[in-house]
Amino acid sequence: MPALACFVDAAAAAVLPPPSGYALAGDSTLPPPLTFTTTTDGGVDDSDSGNNNWSPSLSSKLFKIDGWGFPYFGVNNAGDIAVRPHGAATMSHQEIDLLKVVKKASDPKCCGGLGLQLPLVVRFPDVLKNRLESIQGAFDGAIQLQGYESHYQGVYPVKCNQDRFVVEDIVEFGSGYRFGLEAGSKPELLLAMSCLCKGNREAFLICNGFKDSEYISLALVARKLALNSVIVLEQEEELDMVVEISNKLCIRPVIGVRAKLRTKHSGHFGSTSGDKGKFGLTTIQILRVVKKLEQLDMLDCLQLLHFHIGSQIPTTELLADGVGEAAQIYCELLRLGAQMRVLDIGGGLGIDYDGSKSSDSDISVAYGLEEYAAAVVHAVKYVCDRRNVNHPVICSESGRAIVSHHSVLIFEAIGASSNKAPSLSSIGLQYLGEGLSEETLADYQNISAATLRGEHEACLLYTDQFKKRCVEQFKQGTLGIEQLAAVDGLCDLITETIGAKDLVKKYHMNLSVFTSIPDFWSIDQLFPIVPIHRLDEKPTVRGILSDLTCDSDGKIDKFIGGESSLPLHELEGHGGGYYLGMFLGGAYEEALGGLHNLFGGPSVVRVLQSDGPHGFAVTRAVSGPSCADVLRVMQHEPQLMFETLKHRALEFCEQHDDDSVVNAAGLANSLARSFDNMPYLVSSTTCCLNALTNNDGFYYCSGDDFSAADSASVVTSVAGEDEHWNYCCA
């Protein structure tokens, strides 16, 4: 139809007069893709500067790395994320190139790597040690500066990350500070008891959470084992069990009470505080506890007061208000005859996830470690001095602040899809005139007229109506799929040319959001996500991240800074993989992760800074759960499943092939490898290499034994590989 030919010319010139860089009337070329550069505030704009004007410092500004990453993360001259394991005290030669760590972990053994499959959690114990020392140093400095007459003695709440090596590192690093542990369940109490056997004898073992007789018995046995356990009453009824069991075991308990303060903050994490919080005793209940202990001649056992305002306390003003209220309760308990000596301020020391240092967000805080410690010490000292009370030992349970920075989740982009419109020549214009109703043709003519007049809003309105009519015709069977595809392509081209089309790409990640970043899915918690390399290149597209699960919620489409997409680099034309890192996720994510679609947890490596040529040593590496592992969790029996499939393979080959035994064995070996591999995707090259290199999946060497001369050497294997059952066919 002549009108269609005219419409093609009009659609190609939909923007009249054409802005710079757009197609002219009658020109079938499309506008060039948008590119990005930093603005003065670290955002992204559409200016067309080339890679020659880009630098790692611009990437650092764009992704706000100097904000949320300080002092542990930066960008080096190669454009890779650099880890500063000792914080601000890290010297330039001590920085660790994160991409080199990922390559070491993921490269096949035959190429000098560890053969681990991504996703990958990289732990930096040096960062963990620095965090603990920094918190201790902040309190020590505030105590000395303000003339506080007691000391700080923190505990790590193991719920934040129960990994054995994380907990053992904290006990080891904190031994000189009498740093202890906090448990909220029986298994957590058991692991805390075991780990603290190697710690400082004065370290606290704070026993929180709901309790039964077995929990209380364990806590009392801990005192028998010379561990400094304190049973904190979360419910008034727990006191009767403590008294009864301690009398039976002839063990004098040390008791604490958790108070429900009136002070609370209004954010998401403040829901656990206030007089309607889940845990703790009201003032009425606290008085009943004191009276009962006095009647039993056990008031001397009450020695600790605990409270928790909520995680991510946004300001030191709110913090000081809550600490001051708790200090008043502490002084009152002393007045009533309790032998109080410890004030446990709970958690709440926040993390600045977006680098904004703002008090108006659940993902940021308006203070640093020094300000936090100074506010706590001042609030306690002020109340106690006014009441003429000796200063208590200050204890805190700052788990998020201790472990968040030390762990980085690495995942790889395996592809990308775009909403970019097809080229004019590929639309299939020859199909457009076939089968269109009169109403649909009228809509088309309206589009043509609106584009020629340069009426963009009217053009979009008619385009939407035109597309809807075509879809209805397709549903009624009067329009074929070729015609519908041509309509879709042309409508996309029109909206893109006008500038109304969303050009954000979807990057497909080898990851499960539900397993590795569950807080994003469940409570919209945002974490910094950044490419760990190519930061010396300008990111030219924006994208959202889509995971492997068969779930529409399996995506990341919200980012720090209020962004709905992330600046990214093109995948095409670049050798090797494209790796992104999620930072500040060392607390809670691993423990909360599920098994949606039976995607298990990531592989894990433990990396220490060294003075060797590579600057780091991998002291421990563990492959993520295999398909067999996650099947066992759901009560399946992989060995029996394999035998069933092997038997079926033999039957099939006997019926259809002369070389039945050989082919059945080949099928069985292929099935065996599938059971033994992680559930995540691998490239065909990796599959072949793994088959040749026999990935044992578990490696370990002592952090004290690694060779500085070859600091990136492969760690040695141990007996853990014997846990894998044998799939080989006779």
Residues taking part in catalysis? 550
Distances (CA, A) of 659 to 534, 662, 730: 51, 6, 15
Distances (CA, A) of 98 to 75, 105, 212, 610: 10, 11, 45, 14
Which helix (H) or strand (E) segment holds residue 260: the answer is: none
178: Cβ contacts below 8 Å, ≥ 6 apart: 153, 200, 202, 203, 204
Which residue has 């009647």 as its token pair? 295
User: HSE-up of 107 (CA within 13 Å, CB side)?
Assistant: 15
Q: How far apart are CA 495 and CA 501, in angstroms?
A: 5
CB atoms within 10 A of CB 336: 16
232: which 2 tokens? 């904190």
Q: Is the peptide bond before 71 cis (omega within 30 degrees of 0)?
A: yes
Distances (CA, A) of 113 to 412, 603, 695, 720: 17, 14, 11, 19
Distant-in-sequence contacts of 85-93, Cβ < 8 A, 24+ apart: 85/124, 85/126, 85/127, 85/130, 85/608, 85/609, 86/126, 86/130, 86/609, 87/127, 87/130, 87/134, 89/130, 93/611, 93/615
Q: How far apart are CA 472 and CA 466, in angstroms?
A: 10
CB atoms within 10 A of CB 277: 18
Among candidate residues 348, 262, 343, the one with its CA nearest the CA of residue 305: 343
Which helix (H) or strand (E) segment holds residue 480: the answer is: none
Strand pairing of 204-207 and 180-183?
parallel
CB atoms within 10 A of CB 622: 20
190: Cβ contacts below 8 Å, ≥ 6 apart: 218
Could you tell me what percentage of the chain is helix, strand and coil, using 3-state DSSP and rounding each to the nearest 5? 45, 15, 40
Burial of residue 261, with CB atoms counted within 10 A of its CB: 0-12 exposed, 13-18 middle, 19 or more buried = buried
Phi/psi of residue 490, nearest 5 degrees = -70, -40
Which helix (H) or strand (E) segment holds residue 527: the answer is: none
